[in-house]
Chains A and B, each alone.
Chain A
Amino acid sequence: MFLQATVYQGELYGSTLGAVLLLFLALFLAALLLFLVRRRYRARQAEIMVRVTELAALSEAGRALVESQLDVRALSELIAAEAGKIIDTRTFQLGLFKGDLYQIVYWTVDGKRRPPTLFDLGDDGGLVGWVREHREPLLIADFDTELNELPARPRYLSDTPPLSGLFLPLISGDETLGIIAAQSSEPAHFSQDDVRRLTILANQAAAAIANARLYEAERTRAAHLELVGEIAQTVNASQDLEELFEVVVQQTCETFGFHPVSIFSVQKPSGDAIIQASSAGGIEAGDVCVPAGMGLIGSAVAARQTVISNNTAEDERFIGSVQGFPGHQTRSEIIIPLIVDSQLLGVLDVQSNVPGAFTAQEQTVLEALAAQTATAIHKMRQIATQREQAWVTTAQLQVADAIRQSSGLEELLEAITRLVPLLVGVDTCTILLWNQELRLYEGVAAHGFPPQVEERFHRIELPIGSWSALDAVHVGMMRLSTNRLPPWCRDAATEEREEQWILYPLVAKGQMTGVIVVDEPPPPSRTLQAEASGGFGERQDEMLRNIANQTAQAVESEQSHIAQQEEAWVNTALLQVAEAVNSLIDLNEILSTIIRFIPMLVGVESCLILIYDEETDSFYAGPSYGLDEMERGLLESFAIEASELPPMEPLDVSPPTPGTTIYRVKLPPWMRDVMGTESANVLPLYARNRLVGALLVGPPTSQRPLLGRRLQILTGIAQQAAIAVVNDQLYREAAERNQLEKELDLAHQIQASFIPHGSPDIAGCTVASFWQAARQVSGDFYDFLELPDGRWGIVVADVADKGVPAALFMALCRTVLRTIAFGRHEPAPTLERANRLIWNDTTSDLFVTVFYAIWDPATETLVYANAGHNPPLLLRASGKSSLLHGDGIALGVLESVAIEQREVRLKPGDLVLFYTDGVTEAVNEDYDEFGLERLRLTAAATRRREAPAIMAAITEALDEHAGGTAQSDDVTLVVMKRHEQLTRQSA
């Protein structure tokens, strides 16, 4: 405006003068202008200088701020100091927002510092809230006058409220980080200029704070992650899960300052959370169980996601303390699932007594930690599994190795009982084997017991019924658990064991061969450790089943090997006995040899062979073992009546060994002393269905009953002995028979000498005779007696029965008859007298039938008497035939007899056949008798011939009829033929 005026005046005074004037004026104006400009410039320069200084100060402050601490707290100190250079900061605050919380980081009231304080802005944020929300500075000159015009109600925090104030937002990007505010008790203490200048500082401060925060966040994060890394390292170095959990909770607690920190495992399938480790004192693994779905932990388990509660007081899910797990101080809690391969292993539970302790940052860090932990658990489980597998493999190999290297069954089982505690982790292991013969279990191998218990175990024998658990396993062939003490532990001296015992059956080829007994370890605890190893009990069980299997196979093969060896041995032993028996002849020698074998092969204290004598029904002592001279002498001097030995009750052998018979007998009192035992085992010696003796066996040296192989051997030996005895008897019988045969031959010769030799020369007749004994000696006989006056007596007799007694009786009868016949010349009186003599003489019940005829050539008559004999056949020359009957009775039965005497005239050509029933009753193979009719027909056919020829024809016919059939009766035939020529001679 001033310059415009000057230009206007110059145009008014015109041309030259005007021009000079104008020039002066111009100069003046210029000088004035210059002065003014200069002044103005100076002022301006001063102002600029001030502003530059101010700006320099601010920028220095800003630089200082930017370059200064990256720590928010130190930064706030600096901001306050810088602000103090601009305004009065005696009452000043710098606060930062954290969610709904407002934290005054730097605070002075009337120049006095106050500690940082946290405020909850809540719904009504007051002026601070307004500034935060609107991001605009607020200048209040006088609270009192402006109160109603303020955008929000101030929240007084002092008893002496300020009159003026100033609020500036700290803005960084979209976020209002905090507030800078100053107040004063004087009105209008702060100007717009102050606002302007402070705004510049606030902007720089905000940037610095944002940076610092970022930096701090980054640094914290880095630090935390570093810590997580460190924890992870420690975790990975942990030897087992227990240690791992302990490290995680302790380190998390120490590093982040949260308490308590806990790890829970999650049970399957219940979903119950079981505590494994906690920084809270006095809590052991398994102490706390949070049921599924309960509380924050339950929520996290159910959702398999991190659950955060930053204000537990208002969280419905929060349940406070659980079972001694403290929760009453908890204000914030974060629960992070431990998940690997979508498998929920457990949860990490971190609590704090400060509300809002778990921001996204804590969540990130703790989740990283949880992931590490979960991985570590998983790895450890895998390692544990591998270790288990390796262990199982190694254990199986070890067992297999032990089985392969053991040279005997006992050594093998000892090795297994030593291995099992090492491999399976039990304290004791015992093996009992089933003895099929004795039907009981025997202690074979034991490990882990005190010596006296092991010693007792090795002697133990458990029949069925002595340990119910064992019985059950024996029958069921199944693993069984019992809390009843095994019998070998039942002793006052043994400390009371409370544990369970498990019995594993040793089953091979469907048969019980024995049992393995181990003490059961305590049940697996509810720890993740236990879970990680896949249930230790199951492993043990699997391992033991496997060992039981291998052992059973080994036992079975070993036992069958032994059985084969034993069988071979038995066979060899019996072969030796047989050889000895065969190489000897004398029975006593054979039996002595057999007796010597018995103690060697069977192991008995004494044995004795008794030989049975059928006739006396008694036993006689044969060779023996284990008896002294006196005892033997005693035995030999007595015969033991068979009735003294029974009752022979078969020994209760179940199942009976096939082909063996052994009896236990009570010995007669006198034999008990001799044998040194009350009852003995007796094997009857049977051969060819005859009892030939007995083998008495005293007590076994081993106290074991005689069963199985030993019984087999004994039976085999007894058979050999029986054969030896019976062979000897047969041999002797044969010898006796031989002797008897010789004697009978002799008797036959003697008897034959009684029989007339050749045919006597009887006047008017020809005679022929045939005599054949069914055995060596005969009861038949015939005789020709030359009586005075040319008469001839003809006797045909048949003694009842046959054999030697009959032959002797025949000799008697012949003698008697001869004696009497020569004195009395009548047949009937002769026979009657003979009867009396025979009856007197004989005590036997033998009798004799006799036909006695006297031929008187002078009268041509045949006078005869028949004492019960077959009536001779008279065949007349005319062809007619009749029998020479006569009333009589066999001699020797009744004291006195009456015998009828008859006579018959014999004409030339007449034929008389005297015979015994051996002729008529000669049978063929069909039992068809030769019969009187055949005899008659044969004789009739040849009656024209002489006596010898007729007789030959008859014997021929007899032979033909019998056809080789052995005849049981003696055959006697006498043919007497009246001369045909008599008529010619007389003529």
Chain B
Amino acid sequence: MTIWQRTLAGNLVVVGIEGRLDQSLTPELEVELDQVLVAGRREIIIDMSAVSYINSGGLRCLVTAWRRATQQGGRLALAAMTPRVDQIVSMVGFDKVFEIYPSPGEARRAWEEEE
């Protein structure tokens, strides 16, 4: 149950989450994303590959980060979601909110191509 982040070139940062994204991990993720945003990095790729579950609180946390990033002219993508998480995200309709990529690398490439 950890959260890690890897800063890439420019404002790009990959935040990885490992574990259940519910009340046990969400407060930590909140702090982490807050730090990333405060530090001015607005292009955030969340590596969801190791997230086994996400509840509404976890979604809210991601939405908050997404909203702040976009408000500052940045973006937030979810990458490499497991089927179950993908199902939850889709169910809530947030596949319309987040950019979703099969992997962080693809997210990055996509963004680089856009630029």
Q: How far is the CB of A384 from chain B (nearest CB, A)?
A: 91
Q: Mark B22-66, 1 if CB is under 8 A from A, else 0.
A: 110000000000000000000000000000000111011001100
* Least CB distance, B56 to chain A, in whole angstroms: 4
**B59 nearest in chain A by CB position:** A800
Total A residues in contact with B, Cβ cutoff 8 Å: 26
- Is A121 in the interface zone, CB < 8 Å from B? no
Question: Which residues of the partner chain A approach B4 to less than 8 Å between Cβ atoms?
Answer: none
Closest Cβ–Cβ distance, residue B27 to chain A (whole Å) = 12
Give Cα A867–Cα B91 distance, bound, in whole angstroms: 9
Scoring A870, A893, A968 by chain B CB atoms within 10 A of each residue's CB, the highest score goes to A893
Q: Is A801 an interface residue (CB 8 A)?
A: yes
User: Are B23 and A968 interface neighbours, CB within 8 A?
Assistant: yes
Q: Is B111 in contact with chain A by the CB < 8 A criterion?
A: no
Whether B57 and A802, one on each chain, are in contact in the complex, defined by CB atoms closer than 8 angstroms, is yes
Tell me, yes or no, whether A969 is within 8 Å of chain B by CB. Answer: yes
* A868 lies within 8 A of B94 (CB): yes
Is B97 in contact with chain A by the CB < 8 A criterion? yes
Q: Which of B22, B55, B63, B92 has the most CB of A within 10 A?
A: B92
Q: With an 8 A cutoff between CB atoms, is B93 at the interface?
A: yes
Instruction: Write the nearest CB–CB distance from A785 to chain B, whole angstroms.
Output: 23
Query: Which of A800, A849, A871, A969 has the largest count of B CB atoms less than 10 A from its CB?
Result: A800
A893-B97, A968-B22, A968-B23 given; A801·B92 CB < 8 A: no
Residue from the list A845, A888, A897 in contact with B60, Cβ < 8 A:
A845
Chain A, Cβ-Cβ closest to B90: A868
Which residues of B are found within 8 Å of A888, using beta-carbon distances?
93
CB distance from B68 to the nearest CB of A (A): 9
In the complex, A762 has a CB within 8 A of chain B: no
Chain A residues within 8 Å of B91, by CB: 868-871
**Residues of the A chain whose Cβ atoms lie less than 8 Å from the Cβ of B63:** 800, 845, 847, 893
Closest Cβ of chain B to A971, distance in Å, is 14
- Expressed in whole angstroms, the Cα–Cα distance for A779 and B23 within the complex equals 15
Place the interface of chain B in its size category.
10 to 19
- Do the beta carbons of A889 and B97 come within 8 Å of each other? yes
A849-B92, A870-B91, A890-B94 known; A798-B64 Cβ under 8 A? no
Chain B residue with minimal CB distance to A969?
A: B55
What is the chain A residue whose CB lies nearest that of B67? Answer: A845
B6: Cβ under 8 A from any A Cβ: no
> A846 — which chain B residues lie within 8 A by C-beta?
60
Complex CA gap A870/B55 in Å reads 12
Minimum distance in angstroms from B30 CB to a CB of chain A: 11
Residues B55 and A847 in contact, CB atoms below 8 Å apart: no
Is A894 an interface residue, CB under 8 A from the partner?
yes
Q: Mark A773-788, 1 if CB is under 8 A from B, else 0.
A: 0000001000000000
B93 is contacted by which of A889, A968, A969 (Cβ under 8 Å)?
A889
Q: Which residues of B lie under 8 Å from residue A779 when comparing CB positions? A: 56
A801/B94 contact (C-beta < 8 A), A845-B64, A845-B67, A968-B23 known: no
Is B96 a contact of A801 with CB atoms below 8 Å?
no
* Chain B neighbourhood of A845, CB < 8 A: 60, 63-64, 67
Residues of B within 8 A of A799 (CB): 56
Complex alpha-carbon distance, A969 and B20, angstroms: 15
Bound: A867/B92 CA distance, A? 7
The answer to whether residues A867 and B60 also contact, given A968-B22, A969-B55 and a CB cut-off of 8 A, is: no
Contact of A890 among B22, B67, B93 (CB under 8 A): B93
Assess whether A868 is in contact with B93, with CB atoms less than 8 Å apart. yes
Closest CB in chain A relative to B37 CB, distance in Å: 13
Task: Return chain B residues, CB-CB under 8 Å to A969.
Answer: 55
Given the complex of chains A and B, what is the CA–CA distance between A887 and B94 in angstroms?
11
B97 cross-chain contacts in A, Cβ below 8 A: 889, 893-894
Give A893 to B59 CA distance when docked, in angstroms.
11
Q: How far, in angstroms, from A911 to B113 measured CA to CA in the complex?
A: 50
- Given the known interface contacts A845-B64, A968-B23, the answer about A889 and B55 at a Cβ–Cβ threshold of 8 Å is no
> Which A residue sits closest to B65, measured CB to CB?
A845
* Closest residue on chain A to residue B95 by CB atoms: A889
The smallest C-beta distance from A682 to any residue of chain B, in angstroms, reads: 31
Measured between alpha carbons, how far is A801 from B91 in the docked complex, in Å? Answer: 17
> How far, in Å, is A199 (CB) from chain B's closest CB?
152
Q: How far is the CA of A589 from the CA of B64 in the complex (A)?
A: 47
Give, as a whole number of angstroms, the nearest-CB distance from A804 to chain B: 14
Q: How far is the CA of A893 from the CA of B67 in the complex (A)?
A: 9
Chain B, residue nearest A892 (CB): B63
Report if A959 contacts B (CB, 8 A).
no
Tell me the minimal C-beta distance from A157 to chain B in angstroms: 143
* Residues on the A chain within 8 Å of B55, using CB: 917, 921, 969
Residues of B within 8 A of A869 (CB): 91
Q: List residues of B (75-89) whose CB comes within 8 Å of A's CBs.
A: none
* In contact, A868 and B60 (Cβ under 8 angstroms): no
Asked whether, in the complex, the Cβ of A890 is within 8 Å of the Cβ of B23, the reply is: no
B81 to chain A, nearest CB (A): 16
29 contacts between A and B (CB under 8 A): A779-B56, A798-B56, A799-B56, A800-B56, A800-B60, A801-B56, A801-B57, A801-B60, A802-B57, A845-B63, A845-B67, A847-B63, A868-B91, A868-B93, A868-B94, A869-B91, A870-B91, A887-B93, A889-B93, A889-B97, A890-B92, A890-B93, A893-B97, A894-B96, A897-B93, A917-B55, A917-B56, A968-B23, A969-B55
5 closest A-B pairs by beta carbon, nearest first, are A889-B93, A868-B92, A800-B56, A868-B93, A845-B64
Q: A798-B56, A801-B60, A893-B94 are in contact. List 13 more A-B contacts (CB 8 A).
A: A779-B56, A800-B59, A800-B60, A800-B63, A801-B56, A847-B60, A867-B93, A868-B92, A868-B93, A897-B93, A897-B96, A921-B55, A969-B55
